[in-house]
Amino acid sequence: MIRVLIDTDVIIECLKKNLDVISELERLSNNGIVVSYSPMSKAEVYCGIRKKEEGIAAEFFDQMECLTITDDTGEKAGRYLHAFRKSHAVELGDALIAATAFSAKATLFTFNQKHYPMKDIELYAFCRDK
């Protein structure tokens, strides 16, 4: 099974109705690729959401698989923080999302590639200027 984990910035673009990003996720799904998200991304979205946007966000998340943050994921995130916090300003959210992608053997779809200097995860290449 091929899986793509979408980062918070990708989710926000979808919630803003960015048709290029939405079309790309639909294309992936139509090609049998499982589109998923991390509970960390859901937390980041709901942290800044307005009450009137909650229904749209809930519908969006209901269409995808939520990956689990396990004990091993937490340890991997801690190792990422130890390795990249000072050199690349990696924060806990990004470390948990990267560790979730690693644990699930998922490709990480993000527009903030500088937040993910980890060499053991694959980043999804998508050109926003189509």
Among the ranges given (39-43, 78-82, 125-129), the one the predictor scored with the smallest mean pLDDT: 125-129
Which of 47, 25, 44, 26 has the alpha carbon at shortest distance from 109?
Answer: 25
Q: How many residues make up the chain in this entry?
A: 130
Percent of the chain clearing pLDDT 70 (strictly above): 97
Which CATH number is correct for 3-115, 3.40.50.1010, 1.10.275.10, 3.40.640.10, 3.40.50.450? Answer: 3.40.50.1010
Name residue 23's amino acid. Answer: S
- Integer angstrom CA distances of residue 102 from 49, 80, 95: 28, 11, 10
Please give the radius of gyration of the chain, using alpha carbons only, rounded to the nearest integer: 14
**Domain boundaries of the chain, sorted by first residue:** 3-115
- Condensed to tens digits (0 to 9), the pLDDT of residues 3-48 reads 999 999 999 999 999 999 999 999 999 999 999 999 999 999 999 9
Q: Which residue matches tokens 């000072």?
A: 86
